[in-house]
Amino acid sequence: MSDPFRHHPGLRDQIRPAEESFFRHMDLAEIDAHMVANGHPADWRTPDADREATRHRALDGHTEDDIWVFAYGSLMWDPAMIFEEVRRAHAPAFARNFCMWDDGGRGSRERPGLMLAIDHGAGCNGLAFRIARDRIEEETFVLFRREMIAEGYIPTWAMFATDHGPVEALTFRADPEAESIVRDMPIDEQAAMIAVAEGMLGTNFAYLEDMRRHLALLDVTDPYVDDLYDRVTALRDG
User: Which residues does the annotation mark as catalytic?
Assistant: 147
Which DSSP symbol is given to 18?
G
Q: Which amino acid is at 41?
A: P
Please name the residues in contact with 3: beta carbons below 8 A apart, sequence gap of 6 or more.
9
Could you tell me which of 69, 18, 78, 21 has the C-alpha nearest to residue 217? 78
Largest CA distance in the chain: 55
Cα 150 to the center of its chain, rounded Å: 13
Rounded to whole angstroms, how far apart are CA atoms 65 and 84? 13
Rounded to whole angstroms, how far apart are CA atoms 176 and 119? 9
Asked if 125 and 220 count as a contact pair (C-beta separation under 8 A), the reply is: yes
